[in-house]
Structure 1
Amino acid sequence: MIPAIGFGTFRMKDEDAYNAVRSALEVGYRHIDTAAFYDNEAAVGRALKDSDIPREELFVTTKVWHDRLSEGEVTASIKESLEKLGLDYLDLVLIHWPSPNDEVPMESYIGELDQAREDGLTRHIGVSNFTVAHLEKMLTLPGGRNVITNQIEVHPFLANRKVADFCEEKGIKVTAYMPLAVGKVMDDDTLKDIAEKHDATPADIALAWVSQRDIAVIPSSTNPKHQKSNLDAIRISLTADDMTRIDELDRAERIASPDFAPAWDE
């Protein structure tokens, strides 16, 4: 349902976002991941339009920021995203973060998100940065069982297994953001060693490890050569020994943890 690999656009603005998405589509990406918070939806939308790729071949994801979770605001945010992206519908809309300190009841925004799906604003719905406790609560709510993914930080230094295992148990696909740990994977000796064996880069190996865990992955790069390498990386077949060695790199090193983040599962 969710493509195995997508193109992330976090921190990309204006023409950089436009050019990056255009080149990503040219090298073969069809899943493009953006968010209202990224402030690049208009540029992403222009790139999608100018690519001339048929809409049905694209999978476009955006996210609703945590300040738009009150009644009526989820729908309004989605409609604003659609307008900026120049689309009639989205393939996936995520709640970007749970409401800080659960100030807005989850019953409100999960229900409204699912209503957006019912109304045809998006084909699928999901969440991002949800803990096990949030997911357990979500699954008790009307609409909660229609959530198809939880997008969370996953890379060799943060395996995030407790959440990932819970999602797998409940049939919720995990999507990994920051899979390259903002470039830190390039300096790891274990990843370098495994990469040499596969005639690949440490980044390729990190992406292959995430993908081989049956996790969708959304790497980000403005460099067309790196974009193509990332796209091809999920075809690498790591051995059981490779996987074990990378598993052992987990040190619970979380990169995305703003002051409004929930109490993380360790």
Structure 2
Amino acid sequence: MRADERPVRTAYGEDPSQVGELSLPEGDPRGVVVVIHGGFWRAAYDLSLGAPLAAALAAEGWAAWNLEYRRVGGGGGAPETLDDVAAGIDALRGLDLPLDTVVTLGHSAGGHLAAWAASRTRHERWAGGVEVTAVVSQAGVLDLVAGHEAGLGDGAVAAFLDHPPGAADAAYDPARQLPLDVPLWCVHGRDDDIVPISQSEGYVAAATAAGARAELVAVDGDHFTVVDTGSAAWAGTLAILDSLPVRS
């Protein structure tokens, strides 16, 4: 992002939470990274969590769209949160950005939303949207059933769905939307005691067995190491982005 500019906040809907903040690099963007914050889908957490990542991405030449959405306790949950993420990504069409490369990058519950966004257009409710071309999940909750059984976030999955996960929730669950048509990387701390690395391990194993391109990038550290822009884990995330094909 240019040193003398702040992110530009733009609404994509009427609710106060239906906004995004756009950080632009110097010169033409290499592509777009949609930053989706975590917080177990709860209203206590907001897009300020993604702001340092967006700034770091803009410094590396990416257009960073730091997305807010309705959360549990603020009008969110399934399907409203998912409607917002879909609408927020589709709003990229109005931001005069190159959409050849659109990466979703999400932490924790944001990792769930980032992976979900890559399969959303299969479903009539979200069909016709901007296509995601790659996903980076940072300590993501990628299996809602396993997450509920493990009691992640003190019942966060059931609160998000408004009931324990079941077969009717398959369209909301990345682990039940395999295989993805785009590559996905799971960057996860080995010592994560908030979202265990087994979430990423299980997803990658199932994804690769289904013929998808998925890779586990296990790093030293805990749940928040992966979003520390001064960490080796973040440098690894930038290396993943560097490996992607971008517009010439």
Do they fold alike, i.e. is TM over 0.5?
no
In our comparison, the structure showing a higher alpha carbon Rg is 1
Higher share in helix: 1
